[in-house]
Amino acid sequence: MVVLTLTRLFFYFYNHDFFTGITGGEMMRIMWGGLRFDLAAAAYLNIVFIVMRLVPLRLTETNRVYNRIADWFYYIPYSVGIIANLMDTPFYQCTNARTTAGTLSEFAAYDNAAGIVVTHIGTFWYFVPIAAALIFLLVWGYRRAVVRPLRMKNRAVEGALRSGLLVLGFGLVAIAVRGGLQKGRPMMVSDAILYVSRNRDMPLVQNTPYTVIRTVGKKITIDKLEYMPPEAAAEVYYPLYTGGDAGGMDRKNVFIVVMEGIGSGLVDAVNN
């Protein structure tokens, strides 16, 4: 949780010019709402680790191989979450929004998506040591935690207690994923609006792992609107001007085309 909070602060300071005018009280409210989103993201990322740790068997404490596997199910998903937040930090300046599953699907459609990633890593190379430092902090903090083994003389009572902890763990995960004990629907990406004074500040409350996970499988559909047939629209306004035989040209047919993102990675003609 501390690491995710640090990535949020880094996101804010790196993109400070996009979030000007935030008061101290507004920032406290943003951080409080961000904690809710971070808890949900942590629950999603650590679900396998939580299950492995709460299995009502003593091997969770005695089997070294089992424990090493469980440890890596903590390190890897959490590290992916850290990297996702950091990668989204400079990318936010291109979209003004957190990355979603739809964004990743569109990006994966590019033939040279891997090349673009490598290029951006070279451009924003200083994010690499930052990610390494945060992952180191994550591992260091985890290894510093002390978990006392659960031992009871009555194995039946011990088994019942372990089973109870498993149920409790599932309950806490469900609460975290829902975003709390509120009635009605669970927390959504758009609920970040509850903690900001301006819509533009919503990405500060959200985190990228959550926005990606919560938008998997969700497609945005736009209804096709047809107000009138093309023939009727042409009678109202026809965008093409063909000129005539008489009178000649009055040199008012000059227009300017503004293109954004004309790099070789996006425009095939540049590669010819």
Please report the DSSP string for 32-65 in residue order. Answer: HHHHHHHHHHHHHHTHHHHHHHH-SSTHHHH-HH
**In this structure, are residues 176 and 40 in contact, taking their beta carbons and an 8 Å threshold?**
yes
* Of 10, 230, 47, 253, the residue nearest 127 (C-alpha): 10
Please give the mean pLDDT across all residues of the chain: 85
Least confident piece of the model among 52-61, 188-197, 205-214, 240-249: 240-249
* 3 state DSSP class of 251: coil
Neighbouring CB atoms inside 10 A of 11's CB total 24
pLDDT score of 118: 87
Q: Is the pLDDT of residue 271 over 60?
A: no
pLDDT score of 115: 85
Q: Is the pLDDT of residue 245 over 70?
A: no
pLDDT score of 132: 95
Span 150-176, average pLDDT: 84
Least confident piece of the model among 18-27, 105-114, 133-142, 145-154: 145-154
* 3 state DSSP class of 89: helix
Name the residue type at position 225.
L
pLDDT score of 111: 78
Neighbouring CB atoms inside 10 A of 52's CB total 18
Q: 205 falls in which pLDDT band (50, 70, 90)?
A: very high
pLDDT score of 34: 93
pLDDT score of 62: 78
Q: 266 falls in which pLDDT band (50, 70, 90)?
A: low
Percent of the chain scored above 70 by pLDDT? 89
Which position has the token pair 């089992």?
Answer: 66
Q: How is residue 259 annotated by DSSP?
A: -
pLDDT score of 80: 94
pLDDT score of 269: 59
Span 113-141, average pLDDT: 90
pLDDT score of 78: 93
Name the residue type at position 7.
T
Give the span between the Cα atoms of 38 and 130, in whole angstroms. 19
Name the residue type at position 139.
V
* 3 state DSSP class of 159: helix
At 170, list the tokens: 């599932």
Give the span between the Cα atoms of 163 and 157, in whole angstroms. 10
Q: Is the pLDDT of residue 270 over 60?
A: no
**In this structure, are residues 155 and 16 in contact, taking their beta carbons and an 8 Å threshold?**
no
Tens digit of pLDDT for each residue in 15-72? 999 999 899 999 999 999 999 999 999 999 999 999 888 888 877 777 889 889 999 9
Q: How far is CA 196 from the centre of its chain?
A: 18
